[in-house]
A and B are shown apart, each in its own frame.
Chain A
Amino acid sequence: MRLKTLSAGAIVVLIALGYTIVTYGQQNSSPSVYNPYPPGILPPNLNSEIHRVLAEIDFIEARALERWHKMKPPILTGQPPTLQNTGTEAVETLGELLNFDKQMSPKRNEACASCHMPYAAFSGPIPSVNLTMIAYPGTEHFRAGKRTAQRYTYAPFFPVLQYNQEQALFYGGNFWDSRATGYQLRNPDAEQAQHPPVDTQEMGFPDTACIAFRLQHSPYRRLFEEVWGKGSLDIDFPPETEEICRTPGGAAIFGTNATPIPLSPADRTHANTVYDHWGQSLDAYEQSVQVSAFSSKFDAFLKGNYTMTADEMAGYKLFNGKGNCNSCHVDGLGTTLKPGQVDTSTPATVNPVFSCFGSANEGLPLNPRDAFYYQTKPDPYGFTANPYGFGYRDLGLGTFLRSGFGSAPNPNASWRKLAPSVDGQMQVSSARNVAMTPQQCSTTEAPGPYFQKEFFHNGYIKSLKQLVHFYNTRDTAFAYPVTSGHCPQGTVERVNCWPMPEVKNNLDMTTGDLGLTDKEEDQIVAFLQTLTDGFTRPYPNRDTYTGACMHGGSSKTQGNEFLIPTPELPPCADAVCGVSPVPSPPIP
Chain B
Amino acid sequence: MIRSFLKTGMTVAILVTSLLAVAQVSPTTKKAAHVRITEGPELERNDAYLVIVRWTSNNPGGTPEHYGVVHYGTNPTELDQSAKSPIRLNPGHDYTVFRVRMDSLKRRTTYYYKVDSMGDNGDPDGVRSPVRRFTTQ
Q: Which residues of A contact B (CB under 8 A)?
A: 1, 4, 8, 63, 66-67, 70, 88-89, 92-93, 157-159, 165-169, 171, 287-290, 294, 320-321, 324, 326-328, 330, 332-339, 343, 348-353, 356-358, 360, 475-477, 479-481, 504, 506-510, 512-513, 537-538, 540, 585
In chain B, what residue has the closest Cβ to A345? Answer: B92
Q: Which stretch of B72-80, B81-89, B106-114, B126-134 is in the interface? A: B81-89
CA distance A334 to B91 in the complex (A): 7
Q: A88-B17, A327-B87, A330-B25 are in contact. List 19 more A-B contacts (CB 8 A).
A: A66-B3, A70-B3, A88-B14, A167-B63, A169-B120, A171-B25, A289-B12, A289-B16, A326-B92, A328-B88, A348-B24, A356-B26, A360-B88, A475-B52, A508-B86, A508-B87, A509-B86, A509-B98, A537-B8
* B1, B64, B98: most-surrounded residue (chain A CB, <10 A): B64
Q: Per-position contact with A for B6-32: 1 when CB-CB < 8 Å, else 0?
A: 111110111011001101111111000
Known: A168-B121, A287-B17. A330 touches B26 (CB 8 A): yes
CA distance A332 to B6 in the complex (A): 30
Q: Which residues of B sit under 8 angstroms from A294, Cβ to Cβ?
A: 16
Known: A356-B26, A504-B103, A508-B86. A167 touches B121 (CB 8 A): yes
Q: Which residues of A sit under 8 angstroms from B99, Cβ to Cβ?
A: 475, 509, 512-513
Is the pair B87, A510 in contact by a Cβ cutoff of 8 Å?
yes
Q: Which residues of B sit under 8 angstroms from A70, Cβ to Cβ?
A: 3
Least CB distance, B7 to chain A, in whole angstroms: 8
In chain A, what residue has the closest Cβ to B98? Answer: A509
Please name the 5 residue pairs, one residue from A and one from B, whose CB atoms are nearest each other, closest first. Answer: A168-B120, A327-B90, A327-B88, A289-B13, A509-B99
Is the pair B49, A336 in contact by a Cβ cutoff of 8 Å?
no
B2 at the interface (CB under 8 A from A): yes
Is the pair B94, A338 in contact by a Cβ cutoff of 8 Å?
yes
Is the pair A167, B65 in contact by a Cβ cutoff of 8 Å?
yes
CA distance A353 to B27 in the complex (A): 14
Least CB distance, A410 to chain B, in whole angstroms: 20
Is the pair B64, A169 in contact by a Cβ cutoff of 8 Å?
yes
Least CB distance, A192 to chain B, in whole angstroms: 16
CA distance A94 to B87 in the complex (A): 42
Least CB distance, A72 to chain B, in whole angstroms: 11
Q: Which residues of A sit under 8 angstroms from B50, Cβ to Cβ?
A: 475, 479, 481
CA distance A200 to B21 in the complex (A): 37
With beta carbons under 8 angstroms apart, the residue of B21, B28, B52 that contacts A350 is B21
* B5, B20, B92, B122: most-surrounded residue (chain A CB, <10 A): B92
CA distance A4 to B2 in the complex (A): 9
